[in-house]
Chain A
Amino acid sequence: MAATVQILEKNGAGPTTTDKTSGNIRFKNADNATVDTGNPMVKPGAGTDYSFEKWLRINVSGGTYTEITNVKAYMDGGNGLGTGVTLYAKAVASYATPAEATGVAGYTDAFTYTSGSPLTLGAGPFTSTGEKGDHLVMMLAVGTTASGGITPSETLTIGWDEI
């Protein structure tokens, strides 16, 4: 048997959790998990438009396993979001209500986290069910050179070791 692992998006003060394991995650200018065109990112006339933070975390909802270790996240190494659009990431232990980012301090360009150099989300060992490891906090930055429209999807991978 194996652990049944979900990827949760967390929103609001509660927080409200939404299973995004196989769903879409939409960066926007609002704190919600809805995939729509409301509260879109805006190409700025000057400066940068930052999205609200996306707080993601793995959740073991069931299955059978002994322990999970080495939780990590990484991208494919190439930013396919288009000119002027940058994705940032950081690991945070304790949840806080997602806020609109105001800068990149504390963040790292998500595309520098690759399969060979991933972002660590917790060494573990983790056991039983429930949320495990650090939160993966991501936000999108749109600059003046960006094009309009919905960007292509990118490949975020969240991995772990399991026995």
Chain B
Amino acid sequence: MGAHEITTDADGFRHGSDGEITVSLMEADGRMFKRRAIKGVGSGKAEEVCWLVAEVDGVRVYQQGMNIVVTRKDLNP
């Protein structure tokens, strides 16, 4: 699973997918974005991380692989 792709359907709803799992945001006032990071910069063992984030009314759904977290917290990889 690589970086997520975010698309918008004909009704304006956003969908984020990593190729295996799709998160659909069915609220027009919500937002969806990728939270990306390079971990281990400068160590010679850097790795890229991509989380999909869907947010509605301050509640966020973070998805990476088979892991999903629902929280109001601002989490970083």
Q: Which residues does A use to contact B, with CB under 8 Å?
A: 1-2, 5, 7, 20-25, 56, 69, 72, 74, 115-116, 118, 153-163
Q: Please report the C-alpha to C-alpha distance between residue A25 and residue B43 in the assembled complex, in whole angstroms.
A: 7
- The distance in angstroms between the C-alpha atoms of A159 and B48, with both chains bound, is 9
- Besides the known contacts A158-B38, A158-B41, 7 further A-B residue pairs in the complex with CB atoms under 8 A apart: A2-B36, A2-B50, A7-B41, A157-B39, A161-B36, A161-B53, A163-B32
Q: Which residues of B contact A115 (CB under 8 A)?
A: 75-77
A24 with B43: CB separation less than 8 A: yes
Interface size classification for chain B: 20 to 34
Name the one of A155, A158, A159, A161 contacting B43, with C-beta atoms under 8 angstroms: A155
Specify which of B34, B46, B75 is in contact with A2 (CB 8 Å cutoff).
B34
Cβ-neighbour of B37 out of A56, A116, A159 (below 8 A): A159
Given A2-B3, A74-B76, CB of A162 within 8 Å of CB of B36: yes
| Interface members, chain B 9-32 (any A CB < 8 Å) | 32
A27 to nearest B CB, angstroms?
9
Complex formed: what's the CA distance from A7 to B4 in Å?
21
With a CB–CB cut-off of 8 A, which chain A residues contact B32? 163
**Complex contact B34–A157 (CB within 8 A):** no
Chain A neighbourhood of B43, CB < 8 A: 24, 153-156
Expressed in whole angstroms, the minimum distance between the Cβ of A68 and any Cβ of chain B is 9
Distance to closest chain A CB from B6 (angstroms): 6
Contact of A157 with B3 at beta-carbon distance under 8 Å, contacts A24-B44, A72-B76 already known: no
Structural contact, A22 and B36, CB atoms closer than 8 A:
no
| Chain B residues positioned under 8 Å from A1 (CB to CB) | 5
**Can you name the residue of chain B whose Cβ is closest to the Cβ of A9?**
B42
Q: With A115-B77, A161-B34, A162-B34 in contact, is A25–B42 under 8 Å at CB? A: yes
Q: How far is the CA of A41 from the CA of B46 in the complex (A)?
A: 24
- Taking the closest CB of chain A, its distance from the CB of B37, in whole angstroms, is 3
Q: Kindly provide the distance from the CB of A66 to the nearest chain B CB, expressed in whole angstroms.
A: 9
